[in-house]
Amino acid sequence: MGVNRLFKRILLVLTSGLVATGLISCASDNSPQPLPMPKISNEVKLQQGWVQSKLNNSDAGSFVPTIYDNAIFTADFDGDIYKIDPTDGSIINQFTIDKKLSSGVGVSTSNIFVTTKDSLLIAIDKGTGKIKWQTPLPTISLEAPQATSNVVIVRTNDAQVLAFDTATGAPLWVYQKPIPPLTLRVQNSFLVIGNEVVVVGLPGGKLALINLVSGTPIWENYVAVPEGSTDLDKITDIGMRPVLDNKTLYVATYNGKLSCVDAMSSNIIWQKKFSTTNGVVVDEQNVYAVSQDGIVYAFDKATGAQVWQNKTLQYRSLSTPALEGNGILVVDNDGYVHMFNRNDGHEMARVSTYLLSGISQPVTRDSGIVYQSANGYLVQIKNY
C-alpha cells in the first residue's frame, strides 16, 4: 500500500470515529437512526473496478468528474487537475495551479475551467496546463463550470448564472432573480444542453430555460411553491442537475416536489410530493429517486405513479442513483454501493468501497459508473 493511500486509510479510521461519536450524540436527541443493514445474497457480480487514489481531499459533491474526448477530467481542493484514462484509471496528465479550488472542472475543445475559493473562474490550457485567463466572480461557485466550444457557464452561490467567452474570459451575460432569505448551498443545479440552452434550478422552486447565446430566458416556471409559516419552513430549492429525456425534463426539489416538465413549453406533465437534494435518473420506463430520508423510489415515467419503494437503507445518507445493468446503484455513508433491481426494487448486490466522506454525482460510461469521493478516491463500479 502506497504512502498516499496509507495516510488516507488512517485518516478514514479517525474520521469514522468522529462520525460514530456524532451518531451517538444524535441518538441522544431522538433523531432517526438507520436499522441494521439487511443481509443479502449477491445475485449479480458487483465489484469495485479500478481505483485512483492519488487525488487529495475535496468538498463532497462539488467535484464532479467530466468525460470529454473519451477521457475523465477532474480536480481536487488543492488545485490538482487530472486527465484520467477511463479504461484503467491511470493518470494521462496532471496539472497543478497555485489556488484552492471550490469545484470540479468544465472542459471545452482547448480549455479546462475551474473555480477557486477566492471567487475566480480560471481557464487552463488543456495541453500545457498553463493559465490562459482568469476573471473574478461575484461570489464563490460551488458547482463545476459547464462549457461549450464558445461559452462557459458558472452558477455562483448567490444563484447568479454567468456566461463567459471561452477564449478570452470576457463576460457575455448574467441571469439573476431575487432569492428567498434562506436557501440551500447547492452543488448541482444546472445543465447545458447542446450549444443552445441551459436549464437552471433556482431557489424557491423555480426552473428556467435560458438561451445560451443571449442569456434571455425562454421560459420560467415554478415546479414547487414554498409553503410554511417561517423562512426555514419555506426553503424549497432545486439542489439537483435537471435531467433531459427526449423533450421532457425531470427535476426534484428539497421540501417540494418531483416534477415531469415539457421542455418546450414548461407545462407540468405530472408531479409528486417529494423532498431531496439528490439527482434523479431515468430509463425507458421509470424515474428513480432517493428521498431526503434515504428511501429509494421508482415512479412510472409517463404518469408519475409509484412503481416500488425500498426503505431498507433509510437514514444512511444515500447518493444520487445511477443506472448499471438491470440495476440502480446508490452509495451510502459507509462506502457501500448497493444495487437495486429496476423491476421490483429488491437489493440484489452490495460491495464495500473506498467511497467515504461524501461523493460526487455519478458519471456513467459503458464500462461502469465512476464516482469521486471527498476523501480523495476516484472509483469505478462495475456489474461484471
pLDDT tens-digit series, residues 235-252: 888 989 999 999 999 999
**Average pLDDT of the segment spanning 268-293:** 96
Whether 212 contacts 175, CB under 8 Å: no
Point out the least confidently predicted range of 48-62, 86-100, 154-168, 331-345: 48-62
- CA–CA separation, 362 and 96 (whole Å): 24
pLDDT for 20 equals 35
pLDDT for 357 equals 87
Point out the least confidently predicted range of 8-17, 56-65, 154-163, 186-195: 8-17
**Average pLDDT of the segment spanning 138-153:** 96
**Higher per-residue confidence, 285 vs 366:** 285
Burial string for 76-104 (b: 16+ CB within 10 Å, else e) reads bbbbbbbbbebeebeeeeebebebebbbb
pLDDT for 3 equals 43
pLDDT for 24 equals 33
pLDDT for 129 equals 95
pLDDT for 5 equals 44
**Average pLDDT of the segment spanning 23-29:** 40
The contacts of residue 22 (CB under 8 Å, 6+ apart) are none
pLDDT for 6 equals 43
Lookup result for grid cell 407540468: 268
Three-state secondary-structure class, residue 77: coil
The contacts of residue 2 (CB under 8 Å, 6+ apart) are 53
CB atoms under 10 Å from CB of 21, counted, come to 10
**Average pLDDT of the segment spanning 269-293:** 96
Residue 384 in this model has a pLDDT that exceeds 80 = no
161-165 own/partner pairs: CB under 8 Å, 24+ apart: 161/190, 161/198, 161/200, 161/210, 161/215, 162/137, 162/138, 163/212, 163/215, 164/121, 164/135
185 confidence band (pLDDT: 50, 70, 90): confident
Mean pLDDT of the chain: 90
The full DSSP string for 78-109 is TSEEEEE-TTT--EEEEEE-SS-BSS--EE-S
pLDDT for 379 equals 96
Three-state secondary-structure class, residue 7: helix
pLDDT for 29 equals 57
pLDDT for 382 equals 92
β-bridge pairing 306-310 and 322-324: unpaired
- Rounded to whole angstroms, the maximal C-alpha distance in the chain is 56
All structural domains of the chain = 62-187 (2.40.128.630)
- CA–CA separation, 281 and 90 (whole Å): 28
Locate 219 and state its grid cell: 421560459
Residue 77 in this model has a pLDDT that exceeds 80 = yes
| CA distances from residue 292 to 37, 215, 316, 320 in whole angstroms, order as listed | 18, 32, 10, 11
| CA distances from residue 57 to 79, 105, 372 in whole angstroms, order as listed | 11, 15, 10
pLDDT for 7 equals 43
pLDDT for 30 equals 75
Point out the least confidently predicted range of 37-46, 222-231, 317-326: 222-231
pLDDT for 184 equals 77
Q: Which of 329, 324, 289 is nearest to 307 (CA)?
A: 289
